[in-house]
């Protein structure tokens, strides 16, 4: 398709025709450039939000090489597998998250380490919300027993934003204390040896949480609020039970039914697919 006349055609045109053509080109060309710029900017924003998670496995040989420590392979039982965010465009925020995860995982490595297991779980994964949980078990030479710890990372990759407790839950509805009460009621389902109520009820203690399509899971390391015999503890609470404490103007507010009733199987999943991107396991 020829958009511009060749030299011979141009010479045959009358002056009014030439003026009309010039006017048309002066109108169309800027619009075309504007459209191209819009497409490129939109594509850039779309690419900037694309995020995935890959698993990084560090062998004992890798760890020895990096740390300079030589382990007794007959004694040491070290299996490290942690998540790293992958993205299409350079992103300092996500790169910083990856470095923080790696630093945390590798900080437990020393010459006294006998057993170390690290694994992770993906709860939500979309362009608008990522929720990850990392579990760690470590046992050092001379210790009576090992310890279990777990932490979560919740973020909005499109906004380069870490999500914390009060981004999700409404302080105006006394969400912290109400959710602590729910945790206390449910702790017996996962630990029959009781709860350290004084630790949980401290005003400055804010539970860590990990989100899935069906529940928000409140996670606690070994000895954090329960006896060590229970190990790391996870208390799962459905969105239906938490709906009264979720902020209307928070990341999950758009998923909150106006009528005040939560239908997790239909409303949440459908809204997640539409508004938060496709969930990946």
Using 50, 70 and 90 to split pLDDT, how confident is the model at 275? low
pLDDT, tens digit, 9 for 90 and up, residues 208-236: 999 999 999 999 999 999 999 999 999 99
d(CA 97, CA 93): 6
Q: Cβ neighbours of residue 264 under 8 Å, at least 6 residues apart? A: 213, 214, 238, 239, 240
Tokens of 35: 């459209």
Question: Domains of the chain: which residue ranges?
Answer: 7-47, 53-255
pLDDT, tens digit, 9 for 90 and up, residues 19-48: 776 676 677 677 666 666 555 444 445 445
Which of helix, strand or coil describes residue 210?
strand
Looking at the chain, the whole-number percentage of residues with pLDDT higher than 90 is 62
pLDDT, tens digit, 9 for 90 and up, residues 235-264: 999 999 999 999 999 998 876 666 555 544
Report pTM: 0.75
CATH of 53-255, one of 3.30.1490.100, 3.40.50.150, 3.30.565.40, 3.20.20.140: 3.30.565.40
d(CA 185, CA 57): 38
């Amino acid at each position: 398709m020829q958009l511009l006349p060749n030299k011979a055609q141009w010479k045959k045109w009358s002056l009014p025709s030439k003026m009309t053509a010039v006017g048309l080109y002066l109108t169309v060309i800027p619009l075309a450039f504007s459209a191209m710029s819009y497409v490129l900017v939109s594509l850039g924003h779309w690419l900037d939000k694309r995020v995935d998670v890959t698993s990084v496995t560090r062998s004992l040989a890798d760890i020895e090489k990096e740390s300079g420590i030589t382990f007794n392979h007959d004694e040491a039982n070290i299996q490290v597998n942690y998540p790293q965010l992958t993205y299409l465009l350079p992103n300092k925020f996500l790169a910083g998250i990856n470095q923080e995860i790696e630093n945390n995982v590798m900080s437990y490595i020393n010459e006294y380490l006998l057993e170390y297991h690290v694994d992770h779980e993906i709860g939500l994964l979309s362009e608008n919300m990522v929720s990850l949980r990392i579990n760690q078990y470590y046992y050092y030479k001379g210790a009576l027993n090992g310890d279990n710890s777990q932490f979560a990372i919740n973020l909005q990759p499109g906004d380069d934003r870490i999500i914390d407790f009060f981004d999700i839950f409404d302080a105006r509805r006394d969400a912290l204390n109400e959710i602590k009460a729910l945790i206390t009621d449910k702790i017996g389902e996962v630990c029959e040896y009781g709860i350290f109520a004084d630790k949980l009820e401290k005003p400055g203690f804010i539970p860590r949480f990990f989100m899935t399509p069906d529940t928000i899971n409140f996670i606690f390391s070994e000895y954090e609020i329960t006896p060590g015999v229970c190990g790391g503890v996870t208390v799962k609470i459905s969105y239906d039970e938490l709906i009264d404490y979720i902020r209307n103007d928070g990341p999950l507010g758009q998923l909150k039914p106006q009528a005040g009733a939560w239908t997790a199987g239909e409303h949440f999943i459908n809204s997640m697919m539409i508004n938060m991107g496709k969930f990946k396991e």
